[in-house]
Amino acid sequence: MTTNNYFPKHLYSLDVLRGVAALVIVLVHWRYFLEVDITSPFRMDAQPFYNVFGVFYNYGWLAVDLFFSLSGFVFYWLYADAIRSKKVSGFSFFVMRFSRLYPLHFATFLFVLIAQVFVRSKTGSVFAFENVDFYHAVLNVFMVNSWLFNNEHSFNGPAWSLSVEALLYILFFLVCLLSRRRYWVGACIAIIGLALIQVASDVGRGVFSFFIGGLTFWLFTKITASKYLKLLAVLFTVIAIFLCYLVYADFKTPFFSDVVGSALEAVIPASQQFRIPGIIFRLSKYSITAVVFPSVILMCALVEAWRGVLGRKISFLGDISYSVYLLHFPLQLVFYSLAVVLEINLEVFYSPYSLLLFLVVLVVLALASYHHFELPMQKIIRQKLAPRPLVRAEGSAISPA
């Protein structure tokens, strides 16, 4: 564990960032309500509060990549040195992660299975994710539903990222255990992740962003150990805010595709210019995941290291981010089922009030899940599987989460 006068014991700002990212995913998936009725064309800009949240409705799907980067940052912080020094064994690491992720994953899987059977009996089809069958059920139970080049989202669709996370944990543990140059190895693996996106996009996205997050943590340690923390905290704040503004400005008045497209047309032969739209899309995406997101993470971490606690009062958003992420689709199934049973026109989901009601119910449900299901189940599993301390040295910074 790297320590110095400025190194914080907890980064509440990253908890808040994780919570906000989870809520953004809810906005992205709101369209599931509105794409069911094929007789009524989906209207992107008519969604609730689109004037305010339009950039999230359009680009918010990248929030999953932000999750991966945050995981990489936090895991390199909390676990890398402990794994290397063997304070945390492979079994302990497995128990900690399994007890945190699996109970809610399995519970939501079962709920979605039952709810989709009900929806199919009422409507003749399932809601949003079509791959509700035995094969995909087995993949979900073992959390390998996004492995083996499988990008077919199924059951609780957002859980695809948990499958990737599980794979990342294995890779991360091996890197930390077997290599002293874990950051150099991480950089190489991030590059491999870019190539992997072409054949297994889900896994590739996770690998790339997770190890980019790890490299961001490495930069954070170098800055906090230097005498320029205050200066660089201000500098990265300015950079991150400027980059976020560019993303928003491009959403309001697109210019990135025009500028990059013109440059590419000047250097790419006419016979190959059909590839330009795809290149522009990738450059746009990777500029956000490889530059904007790490800058935002670094900004939050550096400012909190410099100024002290930041965002503690709303850091509960981080506590329930996993609950919000996994519960929002099952809750959508409930709302959709009620609309079907009560014969409510699905146009109601264009109303801002429907979104506000959904968010209130979701947050309350997530709080209840975190405190009354996830934490108790986590404690039970750890006591059953590992009655002795999971961390060999006392005073370790290993988080119980």
SS3 state at 199: coil
Distance CA 24, CA 337 (A): 23
**Per-residue pLDDT at 294:** 97
**Per-residue pLDDT at 400:** 33
What tokens appear for 254 in the block? 């697109």
- Mean pLDDT, residues 73-85 taken together: 92
Share of the chain above pLDDT 70, in %: 94
| 308 vs 290, more confident | 290
Average pLDDT, the chain: 90
Q: Which residues contact 347 (CB under 8 A, 6 or more apart)?
A: 40
Give tens-digit pLDDT for 311-355: 889 999 999 999 999 999 999 999 999 999 999 999 999 999 999
Give tens-digit pLDDT for 318-327: 999 999 999 9
Distance CA 240, CA 230 (A): 15
**Per-residue pLDDT at 391:** 60
Query: What are the angstrom distances between the C-alpha of 40 and each of 29, 280, 345, 346?
Result: 18, 31, 11, 10
**Per-residue pLDDT at 40:** 84
- Mean pLDDT, residues 204-216 taken together: 96
Residue 74 pLDDT greater than 90, yes or no:
yes
**Per-residue pLDDT at 401:** 42
Give tens-digit pLDDT for 121-142: 999 999 999 889 999 999 999 9
**Per-residue pLDDT at 299:** 96
**Per-residue pLDDT at 309:** 85
Residue 6 pLDDT greater than 70, yes or no:
no
